Structure formats: structure tokens, C-alpha cells
């Protein structure tokens, strides 16, 4: 499912995150800022992939549960 961002949208997101975290990361070197921001974007992409899979699985379970017929068996 991995819906990776395009290079252009990844760069745009990196710029936005740099602006949001500018105060927190101001003491880091440019190289460390770049690494951190890249890691944050990758982590965000991975989290979104996981949540989408969980959501799809939950929908499948709901559909299966709603379409299944249940019967009570007495022992």
C-alpha cells in the first residue's frame, strides 16, 4: 500500500515542517535539521500507512460480521 510522497510534495512538506519546528531545531546544524525533518516525514508516512491498513481491516471485519448469520447452539 505504501503511498510514498512525490519528491515535490515531500520537499513542500519538509519546508512546512521546518517552519513549524524552526524554533525547536534552530541550534542544529543544517545537516542534522535535514536528517531530522526527513526522518519525521518518513515516520509520518509509515504511521499513515499503518492507520490505513488498520482502518481497512476494521472495515473488512465489520462487513464480514454484518453479513454473517449467527446461530446459537445450546449444549
Q: pLDDT tens digit string along 7-64?
A: 999 999 999 999 999 999 999 999 999 999 999 999 999 999 999 988 887 776 666 6
Gap between the Cα atoms of 34 and 51, Å rounded: 26
- How many residues are listed for the chain in this entry? 75
Q: State whether residue 5 is helix, strand or coil.
A: coil
C-alpha cell at 73: 447452539
| pTM score | 0.69
Contact 41, 17 (CB under 8 A): yes
Q: Where are the domains of the chain?
A: 27-66
Amino acid at each position: 500500500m505504501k503511498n510514498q510522497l512525490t519528491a515535490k510534495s515531500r520537499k513542500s512538506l519538509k519546508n512546512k515542517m521546518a517552519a513549524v519546528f524552526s524554533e525547536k531545531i534552530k541550534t542544529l546544524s543544517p545537516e542534522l535539521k535535514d536528517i531530522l525533518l526527513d526522518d519525521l516525514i518518513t515516520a509520518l508516512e509509515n504511521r499513515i500507512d499503518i492507520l490505513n491498513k488498520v482502518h481497512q481491516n476494521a472495515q473488512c471485519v465489520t462487513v464480514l460480521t454484518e453479513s454473517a448469520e449467527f446461530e446459537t447452539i445450546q449444549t
